[in-house]
Amino acid sequence: MSQKILLTSTEVNIILHRLACQLIEKHLDFSNTVLIGLQPRGGFPARRIKQILEDEYNVPEIQLGFLDITFFRDDFRRHDKPLEANRTEIDFLVEDRKVVFIDDVLYTGRSIRAALTAIQSFRRPSEKELQVLIDRPLSPHLPIQPDYRGRQVDAINDEKVRVHWKEKEGEDGVYLI
């Protein structure tokens, strides 16, 4: 299986900083905004963006949670092997707050649809936004678009986009496989 590098570690870092700056432009002090990383892969960029906002832009007390969408997906019973659920960690209210969902790749939109359903368990946010590192607009199954996108990738046919995070795979990078 051949792979082509789409983003290097340096480029991923630059994009994460740009995405953090876009959040600052829209949300300013984050007093009414929470970040939610979609498990399992959205937790990596969510943690990094929170760290960038706090360390480099002095945004205090950003609330970050992690949402497991496994059993809210429309395809969770269609796999041959049992699915492994992840942990949902949201220890704050989302009622009447702005929620920014963060994920690594927007592909079909089905994960985001599941997240919109799952977040209702924590009451109703006033606004919902989506931030992704990679947007694949040529393959949506649902009419969902990100509010903040790092890079658009026009992968076709059976091409896959793989994001590597140094916390998981030992390096940052985005590959077309």
Render pLDDT for 62-91 as a digit per residue (tens, 0 to 9).
999 999 998 887 665 556 676 678 899 999
C-alpha to C-alpha distance for 89 and 161, rounded to whole angstroms: 27
Identity at 94, one-letter amino acid code: V
The per-residue pLDDT for range 18-69, each reduced to its tens digit, is 999 999 999 988 999 999 999 999 999 999 999 999 999 999 989 999 999 9
Mean pLDDT of 136-163: 90
Q: Tell me, yes or no, whether 102 lies in a domain.
A: yes
Q: Tell me, yes or no, whether 22 lies in a domain.
A: yes
Beta partners for residue 150, in sequence order = none
Q: What is the H or E stretch that residue 54 is in?
A: helix 43-57
Q: Tell me, yes or no, whether 14 lies in a domain.
A: yes
User: Considering the entire predicted model, what is its pTM?
Assistant: 0.93
Q: Tell me, yes or no, whether 170 lies in a domain.
A: no
Exposure letters 39-50 (e unless 16+ CB within 10 A, then b): bbbbbbbbbbbb
Q: Tell me, yes or no, whether 169 lies in a domain.
A: no
**Structure-token pair, residue 72:** 């809210």
| Cis-peptide, bond into residue 45, ω within 30° of zero | no
Give the CA angle between residues 37, 162, 109 to the nearest 5°.
55
What is the pLDDT, as a whole number, of residue 48?
98
Residue 93 belongs to domain spanning = 10-158
Q: Tell me, yes or no, whether 144 lies in a domain.
A: yes
Question: Given 3-state DSSP classes, what are the helix, strand and coil percentages for the chain, each rounded to the nearest 5?
Answer: 30, 25, 45
Q: Which residue has the tokens 């590959």?
A: 175
Burial label, 154 (beta-carbon count in 10 A; 0-12, 13-18, 19+): exposed
CA nearest 69: which of 47, 80, 82, 85?
85
Q: Tell me, yes or no, whether 48 lies in a domain.
A: yes
Count of H-run helices and E-run strands, the chain: 4, 8
The per-residue pLDDT for range 118-143, each reduced to its tens digit, is 999 999 999 999 999 999 988 778 88
**Total domains present in the chain:** 1
CA nearest 62: which of 75, 74, 49, 76?
49
Q: Tell me, yes or no, whether 63 lies in a domain.
A: yes
* Least confident segment among 1-5, 38-42, 101-105, 164-168: 1-5
What CATH number has the domain bearing residue 39?
Answer: 3.40.50.2020
Identity at 111, one-letter amino acid code: S
